[in-house]
Amino acid sequence: MSAPIILPDFRNTPTIDQVGVEERAARFTTRSIKKSSKLQGLSMALNMIDLTTLEGKDTEGKVKQMCYKAAHLHDVIPGLPTVAAVCVYPSMVKIAKDALKGTNVKVASVATAFPSGQSSHEVKITDTKFAVANGADEIDMVISRGEFLSGNYNFVFDEIASIKEACGKARLKVIFETGELSTLDNVRRASEIAMYAGADFIKTSTGKISPAATMPVTLVMLEAIRDYYYKTGRMVGMKPAGGISTAKSALHYLVMLRETLGGAWLSNEWFRFGASSLANDVLMQIAKETTGVYQSIDYFSKD
């Protein structure tokens, strides 16, 4: 017997008070986290990173290099975790998968004509299946923002559902590109559509558009996840991506996560940071906590 299909009901969707959300989000940045709890938070943040390279100039060598870094973040300090996953284009999935054999690091692939999503349904499905067939554990899809903004919510819903089907066992992250959705109400609505359509994760941005992840946007999405969880009992993950480059802001996000969704979400199964330069900053802070000396980027690998 299959689970009953539940559809989103926008009549029950609360409208978002932007000023209130911004104020609430700002409060999370005032928590004081020091010493051992800071170290633990940093280590957790490190373990939640999706180390990302999504550039036209990506090469096999670059991806291999990044995969090595994913599993060996900074061997000078023993006992560091690995990152959660690497995030690459579909054409690089096989290379990443091979490079990460024998580690716990997952391979995530963007798909569905990333980053614009402007292509035919067939192309998007093929794109997804290609990535999965090459060994991707996770798929990061983009929604059709144009369709969403013109009110074709059914189109967006169906598209997500069909990509979810094409994913098979791979977990699906749905990218909204919140920088293009213009209001927080739209972000909330997109979150509901994605979760009801079967998303395992919802994700803020591609990293190609500014503004990318911000704390208010993430808060709105976290609250949508919370409400969905209360309604259906299903946990959905969250991935802010783009623009989070300092250890300090990573800790702020973790505080927000803990205080909005609770401890159950505090693992890389339910929360990720999509970032490329965050890892080094976190490593520098961890090194600073363990050695007592402020660090220089010169002593950390670039990729």
Partner 1 sequence: MPRIEIQKTYKIFINGQFPRTESGRYYPLKNKKGDVIANICLSSRKDFRNAVVAARGAFGGWSGRAAFNRSQILYRIAEMMEGRKEQFIAELVAQNTPVKAAKHEVEEAIDTMVYYAGWCDKYQALFSSVNPVASSHYNFSVPEPTGVVAIIASEYLSLIGLVSAIAPVIAGGNTCVVLASESMPLCAVTFAEVLNTSDLSAGVVNILTGKSEELHTHFSTHLDVNAILYCRNNKSEIKTIKENASLNVKRVFVYENDLKLIKAQGPYFIFDFQEIKTTWHPIENIGSSKGGY
Site residues (vs partner 1, CB under 8 A): 292-299
The residue (of 75 and 298) whose beta carbon lies closer to partner 1 is: 298
| 203: annotated active-site residue | yes
Provide, rounded to whole angstroms, the least separation between the CB of residue 299 and partner 1: 7
| 137: annotated active-site residue | no
The residue (of 112 and 285) whose beta carbon lies closer to partner 1 is: 285
With a CB cutoff of 8 Å and minimum separation 6, the contacts of 111 are 90, 124, 127, 128, 130, 131, 139, 140, 141, 163
Tell me if residue 57 falls in helix, strand or coil: coil
Burial of 169 (0-12, 13-18, 19+ CB in 10 A): exposed
Taking the C-alpha atoms of residue 230 and residue 227, their distance in angstroms, rounded to an integer, is 5
The residue (of 74 and 164) whose beta carbon lies closer to partner 1 is: 74
Provide, rounded to whole angstroms, the least separation between the CB of residue 292 and partner 1: 8
In the numeric block, which tokens belong to residue 224? 């949508």
The residue (of 230 and 294) whose beta carbon lies closer to partner 1 is: 294
Provide, rounded to whole angstroms, the least separation between the CB of residue 138 and partner 1: 34
Q: What is the 3-state secondary structure (H, E, C) of 59-84?
A: CHHHHHHHHHHHHCCCCCCCCCCCCC
Nearest to 72 by CA among 50, 100, 96, 44: 100
- Taking a C-beta distance cutoff of 8 angstroms, is the pair 201, 234 a contact? no
Taking the C-alpha atoms of residue 71 and residue 106, their distance in angstroms, rounded to an integer, is 10
What is the identity of the amino acid at 245? S
Residue in 69, 94, 97, 239 annotated catalytic: 239
The residue (of 231 and 288) whose beta carbon lies closer to partner 1 is: 288
Provide, rounded to whole angstroms, the least separation between the CB of residue 205 and partner 1: 24
Provide, rounded to whole angstroms, the least separation between the CB of residue 43 and partner 1: 21
- Taking a C-beta distance cutoff of 8 angstroms, is the pair 276, 285 a contact? no
| 50: annotated active-site residue | no
Residue in 140, 164, 173, 200 annotated catalytic: 140
In the numeric block, which tokens belong to residue 3? 């689970």
Catalytic residue ranges:
140, 203, 239
